[in-house]
Amino acid sequence: NADLAMYKAKQSGRNQTHFFTAAMQEHANQRMTLEQDLRHALDREQLEVFYQPVVHGRSGRITGVEALLRWHHPERGMIPPDAFIPLAEETGLIGAIGEWVLETACAQLRHWSDKGMNLYLSVNISERQRELGLEAQVVRDILERNRINPSQLVLEITEGLLLQDSEETIGWLNGFKQVGVNLAIDDFGTGYSSLSYLRRFPVDTLKIDREFVRDLNTDRYGDSLVSAIISMAASLELRLIAEGVETEAQRSTLAQQGCQFMQGYLFSRPLPAEELSAWLESYQPQRVQLSRVATPPP
């Protein structure tokens, strides 16, 4: 009867509420534990900066490296940045962590420069760092301390930051430009910035998101999207880097369409500093290019 049905519905509703509460509690606990762990990650030396080479697509020459953060968690193993950067941003820990990344990567670049390698360095920064003390002067101090020319540094910000279009953001970025640092828009094409938005910001470089690179050579829309981005970058006189280049087919299509710079597993994954040093020393652009072309059967 109706009463019984009502009773059952209420019961199951209650159980469901109970279930969701438990799941949410579990989630909250996990997050809190991770947050506690992240608070100590820096002083317990669990963070490490990896580096991925940026390559000139036609010649295969290495022009720079991007610093990518890793967390070696004592119990969970290596945690990728997508799994803890958002937490670092919410808690404000990204302030200290972000500055440490910049200092560490600049010291590493100094080391490579001393060995005669002429590279630029790209470092990701979060918009949250604006309120957390990452001022132009801080960047200038880090560069001076490590004797790095400002033009050797690129700061990468995501496209989302442009959409806010606030005077504060523009002022913040202009401060970096005054120091002589370059700015790149990361993951370009995933947000909704238009040409007019882009022109308002003092950026030098666009990085095409790997989503677009993945769609290359799959259908004609994939190709035309990328060529639209390439011609847009050219008309705005912006440097262009394609992210996530994994195959020779993607490399050659991009190069043919006029995209100069590339990054991706085809060349190298992000590596610890020591491993990248070894990789750089043995790297031979021509050899690598040729070996990627289908090898004839023995």
Work out how close the CB of 67 gets to ligand C2E at its nearest, in angstroms, rounded to a whole number.
Answer: 6
**68 scored as a contact of ligand C2E (CB under 6 A):** yes
| Contact with ligand C2E (CB under 6 A) among 62, 270, 271, 276 | 270
What whole-number distance in Å separates Cα of residue 158 and Cα of residue 191?
A: 9
**187 scored as a contact of Mg ion (CB under 5 A):** yes
**265 scored as a contact of ligand C2E (CB under 6 A):** yes
DSSP 264: S
For residue 45 the two structure tokens come to: 């030396």
**124 scored as a contact of Mg ion (CB under 5 A):** yes
Work out how close the CB of 271 gets to ligand C2E at its nearest, in angstroms, rounded to a whole number.
Answer: 10
**146 scored as a contact of ligand C2E (CB under 6 A):** no
Q: Which is nearer to ligand C2E, 3 or 105 (CB)?
A: 105
Q: Which amino acid is at 217?
A: N
Which stretches of 38-163 are assigned E, i.e. beta strand? 47-56, 62-73, 77-79, 120-124, 153-158
**189 scored as a contact of ligand C2E (CB under 6 A):** no
| Contact with ligand C2E (CB under 6 A) among 69, 155, 181, 203 | 69
Task: Determine which helix (DSSP H) or strand (DSSP E) holds 77, and give its type and residue range.
Answer: strand 77-79
**99 scored as a contact of Mg ion (CB under 5 A):** no
Q: How many helices (H) and strands (E) in the chain?
A: 12, 10
Which of 37, 35, 34, 112 has the alpha carbon at shortest distance from 67? 112
Radius of gyration of the chain (CA): 23
Query: Reduced to 3 DSSP states, what percent helix, strand and coil does the chain have, rounded to the nearest 5?
Result: 55, 20, 30
What are the φ/ψ torsions at residue 263 (nearest 5 degrees)? -145, 140
| Contact with ligand C2E (CB under 6 A) among 246, 247, 279, 292 | 246
Chain contacts with ligand C2E (rule: CB under 6 A): 52, 68-69, 80-82, 85, 98, 101, 124-126, 156, 186-187, 210, 243-246, 263-265, 270
**Binding residues vs Mg ion (CB under 5 A):** 124, 156, 186-187, 243
